Structure 1
Amino acid sequence: MQLYYAPRTISVAIAIALEEAGLDYEPVRLDFAGGEQTQPAYKQINPKGRVPALVVDGGILTETGALLEYIAAVAPEAGLVPDEPVMAARMREVMFYLASTMHVNHAHKMRGHRWADKESSWKDMAGKVAQTMTESCEYITSNGLRGPFVLGETVSLADAYLYVVCSWLEGDGVDVSAFPKILAFREAMEARPSVQAVRAAGML
């Protein structure tokens, strides 16, 4: 497998999950600052010009949630999706919230051009990020973390996803000291060999 990623982006969640699953992969770093993701060569891999993209035997897969589910499916022995249906749904509840809300809140800081043409609108959106990300932290604290990890004591796909999103909080203007559960979650994840491996590789 080849994982196309950019450091400190959500694509790092895929690397963490691959490490948790014990799967071999080749990381392929994209130069986002240089706009490599917008060039024709990469657009042939992912026409959306975004990361992650994962090259597998069956073709090329994109979208964070889909790649995480693929990893869990090809490495079921890693137990990254719980067998109990309600717990599996709770895991996906957090993942879908991250994709639909919290990641979008973060993107308003630098990607306002996706939603508006006027630069004044971009500044207005960027100015809201600290508030919306703080509100997302409140939600995650109250409804997303059921213990050290999303599902309590057991690591799942949602933890890789949430960890990367939570690594952006200081840069988004969030007072993380107000969220001890998130701090404890980050500490628990940083103790895991998977996170240590991707950090050593310069992905975080």
Structure 2
Amino acid sequence: MKLVLHGYFRSGTSYRTRLALNWKGVEYQYVAVNLATGEQHSDAYKALNPQGLVPALEVDGQVLTQSVSILEWIEEAFPQRPLLPNDPMDRARVRAFAAAIGCDIHPLQNLRILKKARALSGDDAEAGLAWARHWISLGFEALEKLAEQADGQNGFIFGNGPSLAEIYLLPQMFNARRFGVDLTPYPRLVAADDAARALPEFERAAPENQPDAV
């Protein structure tokens, strides 16, 4: 099976996908799409993904889009080293934690939204950053409580190893640091981030370790 991942080093959704593929031990070719220069809007890329978003994952010539769907496919196609627990209730809790990031935090501070927020504020760069910090902090308050209630071990949120929760958390923590969010109130999230980033598979997926990192 030939996999080609089209992504951007700093994209949270691309980061999630790299994390999952690396954890599963799946080989893939990485093709950078420069969001900063607008390459995602090119005719060539939109032929792959009409939305003009990353990531896009080619699987033997077929194209998958939207990181949520891609991650579900990865979990089903490569069941080794599962990212979801066996118990249906536990699976629902992990998915809820991930969705709190994927649905409620990340969309409000991705590149498109930040550019619009900045434009509406008279091209005030600080206003855009303040917007991002607000929504990240609000979401993290709830996630910290969810993490405190979970059964994690060895620093992880659920169980004794990484799950879909960390797959979503690491990119969001990366963005939180980029935008200057004070992480002191979220010790449980920081601990999970530290535990997961220490794994060699996850370290290889880090934005700074990608060939297009600048």
TM-score of the pair, normalised by structure 2: 0.84
Query: Number of residue pairs matched?
Result: 202
User: For residue 163 of structure 1, what is the aligned residue in structure 2?
Assistant: 170
Distance across 1 between alignment mates of 2:38 and 2:51 = 13
Q: Distance in 1 between matches of 2:113 and 2:82?
A: 36
Change beyond 3 A, Cα 1:41–1:122: same
- Residues 82-121 of structure 1: pairs in structure 2 closer than 5 A: 82-107=85-110, 111-113=114-116, 119-120=120-121
Q: Residue in 1 aligned with 2:16?
A: 13
- Residue 58 of structure 1: how far off its partner (Å): 6.8
Change in CA separation of 1:77 and 1:127 when aligned onto 2, cut-off 3 Å: closer
CA 1:201/1:120 → structure 2, altered by over 3 Å: closer, same or farther? closer
Amino acid of the structure 1 residue aligned with 2:81: A
Partner of 1:57: 60
CA contact (8 A) 2:118 2:128 kept: no
1:61: how far off? 0.7
Residue of structure 1 equivalent to 2:190 = 183
Matched residue, 1:69: 72
Q: What is the alpha-carbon distance in structure 2 between the residues aligned to residue 58 and residue 78 of structure 1?
A: 26
> What's the CA shift string for 1:55-94, capped at 9, x where partnerless?
1137111111111111111111222221110111111111
Q: Equivalent of 1:134, from 130, 134, 137? A: 137
Q: Specify the alignment match of 1:194 in structure 2.
A: 201
Change (3 A) 1:56 1:135: same
Q: Which of 21, 32, 45 is the equivalent residue of 1:29?
A: 32
Once residues 57 and 173 of structure 2 are traced to their aligned partners in structure 1, the CA distance between those partners, rounded to angstroms, is 23
Matched, 1:151 2:158: yes
C-alpha root-mean-square deviation of aligned residues, in Å? 2.4
CA distance in 2 between counterparts of 1:176 and 1:20 reads: 26
Gapped regions of structure 2 (runs ≥ 5): none
Residue 45 of structure 1 is matched in structure 2 by 48
- Kindly, what percent of the aligned residue pairs are identical? 28
122 and 139 in structure 1: CA distance in 2 versus 1, 3 angstrom threshold: farther
In 1, Cα distance between equivalents of 2:111 and 2:135: 10
| Distance in 2 between residues matched to 1:5 and 1:67, nearest whole Å | 13
Runs of at least 5 residues in structure 1 that lack an aligned partner in the other structure: none
Question: What's the CA shift for 1:135?
Answer: 1.5
Give the C-alpha shift of residue 158 in structure 1: 2.6
Q: Whole-Å Cα distance in 1 between the matches of residues 112 and 33 of structure 2?
A: 21
